[in-house]
Amino acid sequence: MRPPSSLLLALGSVAFGLEVVTRPPPEPEPIEVVELPLPPVAPSDGVGACTPAINPRRTGCVGTDVGEFQAGDFTPDGNHVVVNVEFVGAPAAPDPASIYTGEQLILIKADGTNFSNGDPWKCLSCGVPPENARSLDPQRDYPHVLRSGDRALWGHNILDCGGVDLASDACTPNRTHIYPIHWTTSADGSGPGGVPREMRLHPDDMHMGWSSFTGDGGQAAYFGRLEFNPNPAVGEPLTPRYDLVNVSLLVDPSGKAPISAEDGELRINHDAITVGELRGFSGSGDEVLYIGSSWESSNIDVFAVHVATGAVRRLTSHPEYTDPIAFSHDNEWFVVMDTRPSGRQMWMAGMRWIPPLVDMVAVTAASSTRNNRDRRFFQPILVDRYGDRGAYFGQQVNAGGDGSSGSVNDPNWNGRADPAFSPDGTRIAYWQALVVSPACGGDNPLPCPVSTAQGGRTYRVMLAHLTSRTPKRPAKVAAVPDLIPWATPFPPGATVPALYKVPPGNYTVRGRVSGVADVSYAEESSAAGRTGTVAVAYANYSDQCGYILNGHEKVSVQVLFPNVWDNVVDWTSDLLQTGRVEATKRTSAGGFHLEINAETNIFSANGTLVTVVDGVEYVQPANGA
Ligand SMILES: *[C@@H]1O[C@H](CO)[C@@H](O)[C@H](O)[C@H]1NC(C)=O
Ligand SMILES: *[C@@H]1O[C@H](CO)[C@@H](O)[C@H](O)[C@H]1NC(C)=O
Ligand SMILES: *[C@@H]1O[C@H](CO)[C@@H](O)[C@H](O)[C@H]1NC(C)=O
Ligand SMILES: *[C@@H]1O[C@H](CO)[C@@H](O)[C@H](O)[C@H]1NC(C)=O
Ligand SMILES: *[C@@H]1O[C@H](CO)[C@@H](O)[C@H](O)[C@H]1NC(C)=O
Ligand SMILES: *[C@@H]1O[C@H](CO)[C@@H](O)[C@H](O)[C@H]1NC(C)=O
């Protein structure tokens, strides 16, 4: 389901933010989607369940459950996609097929051909001699092929075929080395180092971006350079490894906070650099992509900050939730995984241009309702490099199906991270997982679908051909400095500085176009937990021409220690928006009460919060759904 055309029309006829829309959006284009091959499914994960009858070449079987499965991006020729699989059912050693077990890095064919052994896949990490992989890190997510083609990022490891293309027959297990990645964070270099997560490599194959949880329930983002260390003297592991050096914390020490208090007023600073979670780099590597502080209430978006200048751009603005993103190598397009085809978040975020004030306490809850447990509501959306604007909200990559069970646009098959462009920009690879119990079945109103994938697999890799496109050359890769000029150097021993927080108090916010909002922000903390409350009253408030807000909203969020991810939310809302749209956002008598955990994402609410935009009503998900 797309947003109603009335909403699109209304948005299309106005200026976008404070910038006038100057660049016309692209026309929709033809896209054909096919499924890519994976190893065959074994009936169980018992030893030997991957029989010769199932795989006559004895090169491994996978299970039905998604487990740690993850598909990544293409090899430089665009003919293969790198995938982290979990092999199951291997026979015991010394059977040669015993090496096809556990989490392994494979390439799958994206051009309909087979490798020389006859399989449409090839394992890169199976059977690598132990002396070539002396400290394999257990983290094996977000697989990525380096542009050099002879190496891959595999979680916290670099798999290296020593100058030989990973896809070629010359890249054998004996030739392959796997090195762990180490991030020295102690001043003397001792210990296992920091715990990076969600590593994303810069297109120069040398620099890395990542996120890492801070001790207090927050997260910070970093940028550094990979440096091979053949003989480390300190830190764990003491084996040949890649060190992350010249690390910057992606915080501008002299920059603005997303919301700042000055003389009794709150300012919402759209030029603030707010790298909440790092998502990768643009196609040329000139920008860092990230989930940033919202510009609109309950609307989570992806932003870009220029590596050299610190200039910030908002890439997505659709009210729905966005997270994974990948740019084309020519830097002209990006594809995001977004809940926009599902309408999942419209009950909270469908009214546009509410400033992100209650979000000071409610942002975790607002981003937690996007999932039902492991069910994401993502689908891949193709957007040009200038991002959502006016009535343009990109094009769903897999819209062309009949919606039937197992079809390319079956809404029960949900997108996962990360999508990827072929280097020539003519194809997109992405993967999906089928909704499974307990996100369906039982008490859940959604019956569990039966997988139509081979062997009843509940995950699949898809390839979208952008059939009207011609191959494009990659953009020149931006030369990035080791230390980002606007960021904070983060040498070993450094600690993450406390971020600016708006102090509790009563404030005025002036609309960018007109009106004011009166804001009261209060906080209570005890050994048992903390409660933050934001109350806002809008009087003809407008951040966007033609969108005038009146009414009030009050949100209290309680976090009880030690479960910092558990949010107990009390919400009352009575908002009216007039002008180019007629919209309301209202809670039922007695308010809307939600309890949700940011890690488990199980929706449990009493009362309702309903958004109506030009007569179209958006309601919250059912409890547990
Ligand atoms: C690739 O191998 C599969 C069997 O694994 C076979 O069915 C298919 O025909 C082969 N494709 C080509 C192009 O040879
Ligand atoms: C790999 O090297 C080992 C010795 O280092 C050798 O015994 C083995 O036959 C080689 N395997 C292949 C497939 O070349
Ligand atoms: C970058 O790290 C290297 C150590 O690997 C160090 O020699 C160099 O001085 C660092 N550069 C800067 C700009 O800090
Ligand atoms: C904000 O205003 C309310 C009443 O308008 C008052 O009770 C409260 O103490 C004020 N808060 C602060 C921090 O000044
Ligand atoms: C909002 O603007 C309208 C029209 O100018 C005016 O009649 C009304 O009194 C204003 N309301 C508030 C709360 O300022
Ligand atoms: C909803 O109401 C039930 C019954 O009164 C109560 O047990 C539960 O805690 C409430 N849930 C929320 C999120 O308020």
Tell whether 601 is covered by a domain: yes
The end-to-end CA distance of the chain, in Å, is 18
- Distance from the CA of 245 to the center of ligand 3, in angstroms? 7
| ∠ CA 309-418-251, rounded to 5° | 30
Is the CB of 597 inside a 6 Å radius of any atom of ligand 6?
no
Phi, then psi, of 98 in degrees rounded to 5: -70, -15
Closest C-alpha to ligand 6, atom 6: 606
Is the CB of 174 inside a 6 Å radius of any atom of ligand 2?
yes
Count of positions (residues) in the chain: 625
Cβ neighbour number for residue 231 with a 10 Å cutoff: 8
Q: How many domains does the chain have?
A: 1
Nearest CA to 428 out of 123, 71, 176 is that of 71
Residues 490-519 have pLDDT tens digits of 999 999 999 999 999 999 999 999 999 999
Tell whether 524 is covered by a domain: yes
Q: Rounded to an integer, what distance in angstroms lies between the CA atom of residue 47 and that of residue 402?
A: 40
Tell whether 318 is covered by a domain: no
- Distance from the CA of 505 to the center of ligand 4, in angstroms? 7
Least distant ligand from the CA of 593: 6
- Encoded tokens for 359: 């979000």
Is the CB of 595 inside a 6 Å radius of any atom of ligand 6?
yes
Q: Rounded to an integer, what distance in angstroms lies between the CA atom of residue 227 and that of residue 244?
A: 6
Nearest CA to 567 out of 580, 579, 584, 555 is that of 555
Residue 369 near residue 597 (C-beta atoms within 8 A) = no
Residue 5 pLDDT more than 70?
no
Q: Rounded to an integer, what distance in angstroms lies between the CA atom of residue 419 and that of residue 518?
A: 42
Tell whether 314 is covered by a domain: no
Helix, strand or coil for residue 5? helix
Residue 574 near residue 553 (C-beta atoms within 8 A) = yes
Phi, then psi, of 33 in degrees rounded to 5: -115, 135
Omega before residue 418 within 30° of 0, cis: yes
pTM of the model: 0.94
Positions of E strands within 240-316: 241-249, 259-262, 265-268, 277-281, 287-291, 302-306, 312-314
Domain that holds residue 594: 505-618
What does the pLDDT read at residue 6? 31
Q: Quick one: average pLDDT of 521-550?
A: 96
Q: Rounded to an integer, what distance in angstroms lies between the CA atom of residue 171 and that of residue 191?
A: 34
Candidates 502, 508, 520: which one to mutate for ligand 4, based on the most atoms within 8 Å of Cβ? 520
DSSP 328: -
DSSP 98: G
Residue 466 near residue 456 (C-beta atoms within 8 A) = no
What does the pLDDT read at residue 217? 75
Q: Is 52 exposed, middle or buried (0-12, 13-18, 19+ CB in 10 A)?
A: exposed
- Distance from the CA of 491 to the center of ligand 3, in angstroms? 9
What does the pLDDT read at residue 203? 98
Nearest CA to 275 out of 1, 490, 571, 128 is that of 490
Tell whether 345 is covered by a domain: no
Tell whether 38 is covered by a domain: no
Is the CB of 5 inside a 6 Å radius of any atom of ligand 2?
no
Omega before residue 485 within 30° of 0, cis: no
Candidates 226, 248, 482, 484: which one to mutate for ligand 3, based on the most atoms within 8 Å of Cβ? 482
Phi, then psi, of 579 in degrees rounded to 5: 120, -120
Residue 3 pLDDT more than 80?
no
- Encoded tokens for 349: 């975020």
Residues 7-20 have pLDDT tens digits of 323 333 333 444 44
Around 453, how many Cα atoms within 13 Å sit in the side-chain half-sphere? 31
DSSP 41: B
Closest C-alpha to ligand 4, atom 1: 506
**Number of helices and strands (H, E) in the chain?**
3, 38
Q: Quick one: average pLDDT of 595-619?
A: 97
CA dihedral 65, 68, 73, 76 (to 10 degrees): -110
Provide the percentage of residues in the chain whose pLDDT is more than 70. 97
The amino acid at residue 263 is D
Tell whether 60 is covered by a domain: no
The atom number, within ligand 6, closest to the CA of 594 reads 13
Omega before residue 30 within 30° of 0, cis: no
Residue 360 pLDDT more than 70?
yes
Q: Is 420 exposed, middle or buried (0-12, 13-18, 19+ CB in 10 A)?
A: buried
What does the pLDDT read at residue 15? 37
Alpha carbon separation from 456 to 4, 451, 560 (Å, rounded): 36, 5, 41
Cβ neighbour number for residue 542 with a 10 Å cutoff: 19
What does the pLDDT read at residue 193? 97
Candidates 114, 115, 121: which one to mutate for ligand 1, based on the most atoms within 8 Å of Cβ? 114
Q: Which residues pair with 375 in a beta bridge?
A: 372
- Distance from the CA of 127 to the center of ligand 2, in angstroms? 10
Residues 83-121 have pLDDT tens digits of 999 999 999 999 999 999 999 999 999 999 999 999 999
Is the CB of 598 inside a 6 Å radius of any atom of ligand 3?
no
- Distance from the CA of 94 to the center of ligand 2, in angstroms? 15
Residues 195-204 have pLDDT tens digits of 999 999 999 9
Closest C-alpha to ligand 6, atom 8: 606
What does the pLDDT read at residue 21? 53
Computed over every residue of the chain, the mean pLDDT equals: 95
Closest C-alpha to ligand 6, atom 10: 606
Least distant ligand from the CA of 247: 3
- Distance from the CA of 541 to the center of ligand 1, in angstroms? 63
- Distance from the CA of 228 to the center of ligand 3, in angstroms? 13
Residue 424 near residue 78 (C-beta atoms within 8 A) = yes
| ∠ CA 542-545-551, rounded to 5° | 30
Q: Rounded to an integer, what distance in angstroms lies between the CA atom of residue 60 and that of residue 42?
A: 9
The atom number, within ligand 6, closest to the CA of 568 reads 13
Tell whether 516 is covered by a domain: yes
